[in-house]
Amino acid sequence: MGLTDYKNLGLEQFATQYHAWYNTPFRHYHNVAHANDVADNCYIMSSQNPTVVLAALYHDAVYIAGVSENEKWSALALTHDARTIEKLGYQVDFDMVNRACLLIEQTTIKDHLKNARVTDPELAVLLDADLSPLKFPYDVFFQNQRNILEENFLDSNSIDSLKKSAKFLKQFLTNREWIYHTDYARALWNQRAKENIERFCMETGV
């Protein structure tokens, strides 16, 4: 689909701001293309909920390999842009911004790996959209894993590195019955994502 026009959501001012945060070197995976893809899926899954789409656009605004507070800083990036937009004379719905920030802060690896199904519908959509690349065709899925390794300054051709990636992904099959939280993602994405992870684990000997 490609969200090129945010006017129907009231986010057009943010659309001129968010991509700047992603213009840092070595963003092989957590880049603006990923943010846009997550936003597109949130747009569809949340019935065009602007809060969830806004959270998606900024959920990886700050990404520093090995740092545990990227989500907190990404939320702060959104707050910064909201204040900047207001300073430029535009009206900003700070209730929406604050809610989006709370959602962003709950997209950590720890949150993704929780055993229980997420019951907050907005957070469930954001978490599922963030993991939507797991259901891509296998060659794209595999390249994404290599990109993530490269982003973390690891050798993406090393079997040891690939095994680390596989061991991490395997947790989505062992921590809970379903990879995804929403009925939408469970129906349309879960089987393909599961098959991709299983194949990746098999090929890496995990």
Q: Answer yes or no: are the C-beta atoms of 2 and 36 closer than 8 Å.
A: yes
User: Is the pLDDT reported for residue 175 higher than 70?
Assistant: yes
> Range of 6's domain?
1-130
**11 and 87 together in one domain:** yes
User: Is the pLDDT reported for residue 8 higher than 90?
Assistant: no
Query: Can you tell me the distance from the alpha carbon of 7 to that of 98, in angstroms, rounded to the nearest whole number?
Result: 20
Mean pLDDT of 78-93: 97
**98 and 147 together in one domain:** no
User: Is the pLDDT reported for residue 189 higher than 70?
Assistant: yes
* Residue after which a domain boundary falls, among 95, 130, 165: 130
* Residue after which a domain boundary falls, among 73, 106, 130: 130
Structure confidence at residue 1 as a pLDDT band (50, 70, 90): very low
Query: Can you tell me the distance from the alpha carbon of 176 to that of 29, in angstroms, rounded to the nearest whole number?
Result: 25
User: Is the pLDDT reported for residue 4 higher than 70?
Assistant: no
Percent of the chain with pLDDT over 70: 97
Q: Answer yes or no: are the C-beta atoms of 84 and 72 closer than 8 Å.
A: no
Q: What is the mean pLDDT of the chain?
A: 94
pTM beyond 0.75: the answer is yes
**62 and 87 together in one domain:** yes
User: Is the pLDDT reported for residue 6 higher than 60?
Assistant: yes
**100 and 196 together in one domain:** no
How do residues 114-127 score in pLDDT, each as one tens digit?
Answer: 999 999 999 999 99
User: Is the pLDDT reported for residue 39 higher than 80?
Assistant: yes
Residue 56, SS3? helix
**15 and 71 together in one domain:** yes
**141 and 108 together in one domain:** no
| Better pLDDT: 7 or 11 | 11
User: Is the pLDDT reported for residue 3 higher than 70?
Assistant: no
Question: Which of 84, 82, 35 lies closest to 62 in space, CA to CA?
Answer: 35
Question: Which of 121, 131, 112, 117 lies closest to 177 in space, CA to CA?
Answer: 117
**82 and 21 together in one domain:** yes
* Cβ-Cβ contacts under 8 Å for 27 (sequence gap 6 or more): 63, 151
pLDDT of residue 7: 67
User: Is the pLDDT reported for residue 53 higher than 90?
Assistant: yes
Mean pLDDT of 86-111: 97
**10 and 40 together in one domain:** yes
Helix pair 50-58, 70-87: axis angle to 10 deg: 120
pLDDT of residue 41: 95
Q: Into how many domains does the chain fold? A: 2
pLDDT of residue 66: 87
* Residue after which a domain boundary falls, among 76, 95, 130: 130
What does each C-alpha distance from 163 to 99, 119, 167, 176, 202 come to in angstroms?
37, 32, 6, 21, 10
**55 and 95 together in one domain:** yes
* Cβ-Cβ contacts under 8 Å for 26 (sequence gap 6 or more): 150, 151, 153
